[in-house]
Amino acid sequence: MENPQIPRPRPRNLVLLGCILLVLLVIGAEALRWTRNAHAAAKPSLSAPGAAGPVTLTELSTTHIPAPHGMPSAHASTLTPLPGNRMLAFWWAGSRESGPDVKVFASTWANGAWSAPWVVASRESLGAELGYGVRRIGNPVAWTDRNGKIHLYVVATGLGGWAAARIAHIVSQDGGASFHVRRVLPTSPLFNTSALVRTAPLALNDGGWWLPVYFEIGNKYPMLMAFDADGNPTSLARIGQSTSTLQPAIVAVSQTEVRAVMRDDSDQRRMQHASSVDGGASWQDLPALDLPNHNTSMAALRLPGGQFLMLHNHAADDASARSVLRLSISQDMRSWRTVADVAKGKVGDEFSYPTMQLVGDELHITYTWQRQAIAHHRYRITPGGTI
Amino acid sequence: MNLPDLATQILYGRLGWAIVVATLVCALWRRSAPMSRIALLAVVAASLAAMCLPGELAPGWWLGLAFQYPSGLLVGCCLLRLSERWHGIRRSQVMPQALAGVLAVSGTLLYLDAMGVLARGFYYVGFGPAAVPVMAILAALGCVLAIVRGQARGPAASLLGAVMLFSLLRLPTGNLWDALLDPLLWGWAVVTLLAGALRRTGRRASDRAAEPVGGIERDTVPAPIMRPVAAEHFSSLKE
């Protein structure tokens, strides 16, 4: 009687079959993801048009945001609006810059007053959620999305100084009362280090936003990370070719043209400038502006009437790099006129790291006051006048 | 740009670093005494257990602080090396010279670009919505072809694993380059290339020394049976 034998698959055939399955898995996963992601890049959003022409700025109040108890050092404020003409401010405070006790604090602006500050991020809270250590905490940058979620980007360093910085993306769904880590943004192949934030995001027409980022190990250069309306990153690109500029302040000139003014770390000591005419896809370095910049940060925004405001340090003969904080205005982002010196002190004083936010018809300005507190100025913007 | 969930990243980071640390510990094992399978299992288990410790007690806490996540290819190469040890293979095939060359050159370009020297935006391409899927599929096909043809099966399997991890879960960061390369793996590749170059130089020098001069043997003593020291297998860092 014939002995029937069941044919056994050869090992080589099994390997081939397994390989085909793996490749099909890769192709399937990539195809699925690609079909979900296929959408056009968003364009910068222009603020709602207002009356064009000169405006008047009337100072309404000057104050300091209440400082957390026992925290003598404060720096790097950021503002974001809340519904009902309210506003949130974030900044870091601690015993000293880079100190282990530095934390990010928040305070709410409502009914003409600031609330008591509360902690929103520390190296302990970030480390516990990330699953690995954070050595020091730095600049925060805030954004409120169209669903009311508050996205806070916090500089959190790895092993080393600011050159080892990473950017933690934390999100609040309860108006800033509590935050949870969404992720650390991937920005560099060098252990994901040396990426920082400082300047305010720019709104896009699809509800997303651009987050200005910068790199600073040795060479310094600006970058831009785009987010969709849900706060998920969609792209990352470098701004220009410069290797000595950082902390880009980005303003939309039109739906296709965007300008970035940048802090200058070179011997030129002028405010640096770059432009994109294809909605931020590519950037060209422009000649430096005729404004001094001795390695200090600035803030810029577009008014509803189309003018541009910039808050920057003005280093004159009788001033040091950060002892004068000046508000300037421009029609074209090239020629700037002085509106006022928001803060002016003696040589060695520091009024730095400014931020601006439009809330209704009010312009809010915050900046670092002598590295000890966050100052807050409030102006009313009215059409007509000489500015 | 598709990025992985934080929870998945944390799990990957702990597992990945456990495998890398176990491989490093095995590399430091005394070469005079071959590592038993029980010892190998014990090292891997201890490394995994250490990564499960809470907070600062876990080595992953400090490795993540310094290096964030290992690339998928580094983890794959470490797994392959552990597998070689399990099977008692002393002469490692984990990092052949061709792979080391590709990693060293691409890493140099990537890191020069990241440092702002080149300004070509290589890293950003690793997030590309169209280019990345195509590159991942081509890489997977190339690996499968190498495995089926029996060429450099180990490294091809490591690379395929890294591509799979990236395509299915976008680990470790959502960027294709982070799946294929990290500065530790780049360092391994550079050390492998340098070791290979030193070995070739040593071999050439010993060949020249052994050549007859003017038709007369330099040494009338019969050639030793042992090979010259310089021609012995060079031990790389990860072995």
Residue B21 lies in a domain: yes
Judge whether B232 lies within some domain: no
What is the per-residue pLDDT for A385? 74
CB-CB: which of B121, B130, B174 is closest to A186?
B174
Q: Do the domain assignments include residue A353?
A: yes
Nearest-Cα residue of chain A relative to residue B167 = A26
Does A253 map to a domain?
no
Identify whether A205 is part of a domain: no
Q: What is the per-residue pLDDT across A47-58, written as a single tens digit (0 to 9) for each? A: 666 666 778 889
Whole-angstrom distance, CA of residue B86 vs CA of residue B94? 14
For residues A97 and A193, state if they share a domain: yes
For residue B231, the distance in angstroms to the closest alpha carbon of chain A comes to 35
For residue A221, list chain B residues with Cβ-Cβ distance below 8 A: 116, 119
CB B40 within 8 A of CB B33: no
Residue of chain B minimizing CA distance to A17: B148
Nearest chain B residue (CA) to A132: B61
Cβ distance B144 to B95 under 8 Å? no
> Is B226 inside a domain boundary?
no
Task: Identify the pLDDT of residue A48.
Answer: 61
- Do residues B18 and B58 lie in contact, with contact meaning Cβ atoms separated by under 8 Å? no
Residue of A nearest to B172 (CA): A186
- Residue in A closest to B141 by C-alpha: A23
The predicted structure's pLDDT at residue A55: 81
Nearest-by-CA chain A residue for B4: A183
Between the two ends of chain A, the Cα-to-Cα distance in Å is 108
How far apart CA A59 and CA B15 sit, in angstroms, is 57
Q: Is the pLDDT of residue A129 over 70?
A: yes
* CB within 8 Å: A237 and B163: no
For A208, the 3-state DSSP assignment is coil
Query: Are A80 and A159 found together in one domain?
Result: yes
Residue A189 is nearest to which of B6, B66, B181, comparing CB atoms?
Answer: B181
Residue A254's closest CA among A278, A221, A283, A230? Answer: A278
Q: What is the ipTM of this complex?
A: 0.90
Amino acid at A295: N
Cα distance from N-terminal residue to C-terminal residue, chain B: 36
Contact of A217 with chain B, judged by CB distance below 8 Å, is answered with yes
Is the CB of residue A337 less than 8 Å from the CB of residue A344?
no
Q: Which residue has the tokens 């792979």?
A: B99
Is A66 in the same domain as A102? Answer: no
* Nearest one of B67, B77, B27, B82 to B180, comparing CA atoms: B77
Does the CB of A238 have a partner CB in chain B at under 8 Å? yes
Nearest to A30 among B119, B127, B167 (CB): B167
Distance CA B182, CA B187 (A): 9
For B39, phi then psi, to 5°, come to -65, -40
- Report yes or no: A237 at the B interface, CB cutoff 8 Å: yes
* CA dihedral angle for residue A63, residue A69, residue A75, residue A76, rounded to 10 degrees: -80
Question: Which residue, A181, A197, A213, sits at the end of a domain?
Answer: A197
Per-residue pLDDT tens digits of chain B, which is 239 residues long: 899 999 999 999 999 999 999 999 999 887 667 789 999 999 999 999 999 999 999 999 999 999 999 999 999 999 999 999 999 888 888 999 999 999 999 999 999 999 999 889 999 999 998 899 999 999 999 999 999 998 899 999 999 999 999 999 999 999 999 999 999 999 999 999 999 999 998 888 888 877 765 555 555 555 555 554 444 444 444 44
Our count of domains for chain B comes to 1
| Closest chain B residue to the Cα of A182, Cα to Cα | B6
| Alpha carbon distance B115, B68 (integer Å) | 18
Count of alpha carbons within 13 Å of B69, Cβ hemisphere only? 31
Rounded Cα–Cα distance for residues A96 and A71 (Å): 8
Q: Name the residue range of residue B57's domain.
A: 6-210
The fraction of chain A above a pLDDT of 70, given in percent, is 95
* Contact between residue A217 and residue A200 where contact means Cβ atoms under 8 Å apart: no
Domain count of the fold of chain A: 2
> B221 lies in a domain?
no
- Residues in chain B closer than 8 A to A238 (CB atoms): 119, 121, 124
Same domain flag for A105 and A167:
yes
- In this structure, are A139 and A164 located in the same domain? yes
Q: For residue A146, give the nearest of A8, A42, A3 by alpha carbon.
A: A42
For residues A301 and A299, give the distance between their C-alpha atoms in angstroms, rounded to a whole number.
7
- Return the pLDDT at B32: 66
Tokens 């294929």 found at: B180
Cβ pairs bridging A and B (under 8 Å) = 149
Dihedral of the alpha carbons of A341, A345, A347, A352, in degrees to the nearest 10 = -60
Would the CB atoms of B116 and A243 count as touching at under 8 Å? Answer: yes
Q: In residues, how long is chain B?
A: 239
Interface test with B, best of A13, A17, A25, A26 (most B CBs within 10 A): A26
Q: Tens of pLDDT along A3-20?
A: 556 666 666 788 888 888
A147/A65 same-domain check: no
Return the number of other C-beta atoms located less than 10 Å from residue B160's C-beta.
23
Please count the helices (runs of H) and the strands (runs of E) in chain A. Answer: 2, 26
Rounded to whole angstroms, the Cα distance separating A341 from A27 reads 60
C-alpha–C-alpha distance, residues A143 and B71, integer Å = 31
- Tell me whether residue A21 is in a domain: no
Length of chain A: 387
Residue B7, judged by CB atoms within 10 A of its CB (0-12, 13-18, 19+), counts as exposed
Which CATH number do you get for residue A85? 2.120.10.10
Taking an 8 Å cut-off on Cβ atoms, the answer to whether B123 and A189 are in contact is yes
Q: Which of B62, B111, B163 is nearest residue A26 as measured by Cβ atoms?
A: B163
A33-37, A232-236, A284-288, A321-325: segment of lowest average pLDDT: A33-37
What range defines the domain where residue A315 resides?
53-71+290-387
> Is A75:A353 a contact under the CB 8 Å cutoff?
yes
Q: Is A166 on the interface with B (CB under 8 A)?
A: yes
Asked if B10's CB is within 8 angstroms of A131's CB, the reply is yes
- Tell whether B99 is covered by a domain: yes
B116:A158 CB<8 A: no
Which of A148, A166, A197 terminates a domain? The answer is: A197
- Closest-CA residue of chain B to A13: B148
A residues 35..54 contacting B (CB < 8 A): 37-38
Nearest to B140 among A22, A190, A218 (CB): A22
Res A101 pLDDT > 60: yes
Q: Which residues of A touch B164 (CB under 8 A)?
A: 22, 25-26
Report the candidate in A219, A204, A212, A206 with the shortest Cα–Cα distance to residue A187: A212
Question: Is B53 contained in some domain?
Answer: yes
DSSP-derived secondary structure for A105-160: EEEEEETTEEPPPEEEEEHHHHHHHHSS----EEEEEEEE-TTS-EEEEEEEE-SS
* Cβ contacts of A362-365, under 8 Å, gap ≥ 24: A362/A60, A362/A85, A363/A57, A363/A309, A364/A79, A364/A87, A364/A109, A365/A311, A365/A327
**Residue B219 domain-assigned (yes or no):** no
Of A132, A221, A236, the CB nearest to B61: A132
- A24: chain B residues, CB-CB within 8 Å: none
On the question of pLDDT at A198 being above 80, the answer is yes
Rounded to a whole number of angstroms, the distance from the CA of B174 to the nearest CA of chain A is: 8
Residues A178 and A63 occupy one common structural domain: no
Classify residue B191: in a domain, yes or no.
yes
Minimum-distance CB partner of B110 among A189, A191, A218:
A189
CB contact under 8 A, B116 and A134: no
- Taking the C-alpha atoms of residue B172 and residue A193, their distance in angstroms, rounded to an integer, is 15
Across A310-319, A338-347, B75-84, least confident range: A310-319
Q: pLDDT higher for A298 or B93?
A: A298
Cross-chain CB nearest to A33 (options B2, B65, B110): B2
Cβ distance of B3 and A233 shorter than 8 Å: yes
- Interface contact B13-A132, CB threshold 8 A: yes
